């Protein structure tokens, strides 16, 4: 039988862009046909989509790799390459995506929400795109851009209206099996439940019924917030619940009093996330059928039930349903992230790798990342490197031994502000600058111009920028 998996890893690889074509028109009765190389197709993106038909992250446990299709190359007669197909990866509702540094990149808490895990590479432009009055026969084209590739940690936080919280063997599984069709394992030893279970509870008549999702979370012990017992692994499944039902065992095998149990449980919830203590809750005494009568009427208990005999269960469901409806009307839920559970929309929009989603008045807005800035870093006494997606694209040509291609690369870098960034960083005339696989000897404030024959003047003068291909 398939197990429940709430932690997994994902390796998302977007498709690479296709290369632009170098081609010239060659037909009968056409004298000196011009360039007609087409552009390469864009690579496909990798999207994560919250799907209510997915119950766990089991599909990622043994197969974490997901790759979108590459774009195809351009060809002659200005025929552009085909775009790579996007890959849609379906994940359970409540999936949180974290980057390698542990920061939250995406929080898919409602059905249909989408988050781009990896963006496909742009297709390279064919040589027809570089035709100009000064360059009548460009013999170079752009290479396709590589798609983004990154590892992510996936973490599932169950989304339920009601979460059952209590010590091991406090009767949580018995209660959820009595009020729903869920059938967790029930036994008389601690930690019988090793994975969360969800049950659906319906109250009322068909025309005005109330439906609640109830989560049976494995038992907590003292020190759970620090990882003792099942610790953080299952405490996170309580985060998104609208209402908490704290079950206190009135017939504890070790004799722990109800007040002591309540103090420990609330203390662990507060240490894990302080806002959980302020969440609407009911304190319920369980196992009333075998409990000492003196414990049944304790003041800290809101209700006393016996899941075995059914005593007190209808009243519990009615009170829980009232709290859930009130919470829904007020719009409070752990999934809405007002308490810091999820990332802010602004942070999602700026996150590296993919982008994010924002829930706004019931609508889903898809955020894409802002363009990566040009970054200059010193790598030696007189050596510098320039990084950034647009900078790498600026020198991504099929043949940088071609002087015209080299001159175009230098021009692009200057339009991106490479000169200003190098000057601010402290570069001096004659320093070597590396961008990807290309190295330039940099000189400040010297324009690069293409003469009629296509050779950069900078390559003829020690006072002007010149470059060489490594």
Q: Where do the domains of the chain lie? A: 7-156+343-367, 162-336, 375-469
Inter-helix orientation angle 403-415/418-425, to 10°: 70
Burial of 380 (0-12, 13-18, 19+ CB in 10 A): exposed
pLDDT at 167: 84
Rg of the chain over CA atoms, in angstroms?
31
Q: Which residues of 49-61 are buried (b: 16+ CB within 10 A; e: fewer)?
A: bbbeebebbbbbe
Question: What fold is seen in the domain 7-156+343-367?
Answer: Spo0b-associated Gtp-binding Protein; Chain: A, (2.70.210)
Say if 162-336 and 375-469 have the same CATH topology: no
> What digits encode the pLDDT tens for the residues 320-360?
989 988 888 886 554 433 333 333 333 343 334 455 444 44
CATH top-level class of 162-336: alpha beta
Judge whether 124 and 39 are in contact, CB under 8 Å.
Answer: yes
Q: In what order do the strands lie in the sheet with 46-51?
A: 87-92, 46-51, 114-118
Question: What fold is seen in the domain 375-469?
Answer: GMP Synthetase; Chain A, domain 3 (3.30.300)
pLDDT at 186: 47
Q: What is the pTM of this model?
A: 0.69
Other beta carbons within 10 angstroms of residue 433's beta carbon come to 22
Q: Give the integer Cα–Cα distance in Å for 443 and 419.
A: 9
pLDDT at 115: 93
Q: Give the integer Cα–Cα distance in Å for 134 and 248.
A: 83
pLDDT below 70 — which residues of the chain? Answer: 1-4, 181-195, 205-208, 219-234, 297, 331-372, 445-470
> What digits encode the pLDDT tens for the residues 58-116?
889 889 999 999 999 999 999 999 999 999 999 988 899 999 888 999 899 888 899 99
Token pair of 200, please?
């659906």
Judge whether 14 and 119 are in contact, CB under 8 Å.
Answer: yes
Token pair of 130, please?
């570089």
């Amino acid at each position: 039988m398939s197990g429940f998996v709430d932690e997994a890893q994902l390796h998302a690889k977007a498709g690479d862009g296709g290369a632009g074509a170098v081609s010239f028109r060659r037909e009968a009765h056409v004298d000196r046909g011009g360039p007609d190389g087409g552009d390469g197709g864009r690579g496909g993106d990798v999207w994560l989509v919250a799907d209510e038909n997915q119950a766990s992250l089991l599909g990622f446990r043994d197969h974490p790799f997901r790759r979108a299709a590459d774009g195809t190359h351009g060809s002659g007669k200005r025929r552009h390459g085909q775009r790579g197909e996007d890959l849609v990866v379906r994940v359970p509702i409540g999936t949180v995506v974290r980057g390698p540094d542990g920061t939250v990149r995406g929080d898919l808490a409602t059905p249909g929400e989408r988050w781009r895990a990896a963006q496909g590479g742009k297709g390279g432009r064919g040589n027809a795109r570089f035709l100009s009055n000064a360059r009548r026969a460009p013999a170079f084209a752009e290479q396709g851009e590589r798609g983004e590739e990154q590892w992510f940690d996936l973490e599932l936080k169950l989304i339920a209206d009601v979460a059952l919280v209590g010590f091991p063997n406090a009767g949580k599984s018995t209660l959820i099996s009595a009020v729903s069709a869920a059938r967790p394992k029930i036994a008389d030893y601690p930690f019988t439940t090793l994975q969360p279970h969800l049950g659906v509870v319906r109250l009322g008549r068909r025309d005005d019924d109330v439906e609640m999702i109830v989560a049976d979370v494995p038992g907590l012990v003292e020190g759970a917030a620090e990882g003792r017992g099942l610790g953080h692994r299952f405490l996170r499944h309580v985060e998104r619940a609208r209402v908490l039902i704290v079950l206190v065992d009135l017939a504890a095998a070790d004799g722990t009093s109800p007040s002591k149990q309540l103090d420990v449980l609330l203390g662990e919830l507060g240490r894990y996330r302080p806002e959980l203590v302020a969440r609407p809750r009911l304190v319920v005494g369980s196992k009333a059928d075998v409990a000492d009568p003196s414990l049944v009427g304790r003041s800290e208990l809101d209700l006393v039930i016996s899941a075995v005999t059914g005593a007190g269960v209808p009243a519990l469901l009615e009170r829980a349903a009232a709290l859930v409806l009130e919470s829904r009307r007020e719009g409070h839920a752990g999934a809405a992230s007002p308490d810091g559970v999820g990332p802010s929309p602004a942070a999602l929009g700026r996150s590296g790798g993919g982008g994010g989603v924002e829930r706004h008045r019931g609508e889903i807005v898809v955020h894409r990342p802002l363009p990566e800035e040009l970054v200059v870093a010193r790598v030696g006494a007189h050596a510098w490197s320039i990084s950034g997606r647009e900078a790498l694209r600026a020198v991504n040509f099929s043949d940088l031994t071609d002087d015209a291609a080299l001159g175009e690369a230098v021009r692009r870098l200057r339009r991106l502000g490479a000169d200003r960034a190098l000057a601010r960083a402290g570069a001096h005339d004659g320093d070597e600058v590396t961008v990807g696989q290309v190295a330039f000897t940099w000189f400040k404030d010297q324009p690069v111009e293409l003469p009629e024959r296509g050779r950069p003047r900078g390559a003829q003068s020690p006072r002007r920028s010149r470059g060489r291909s490594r």
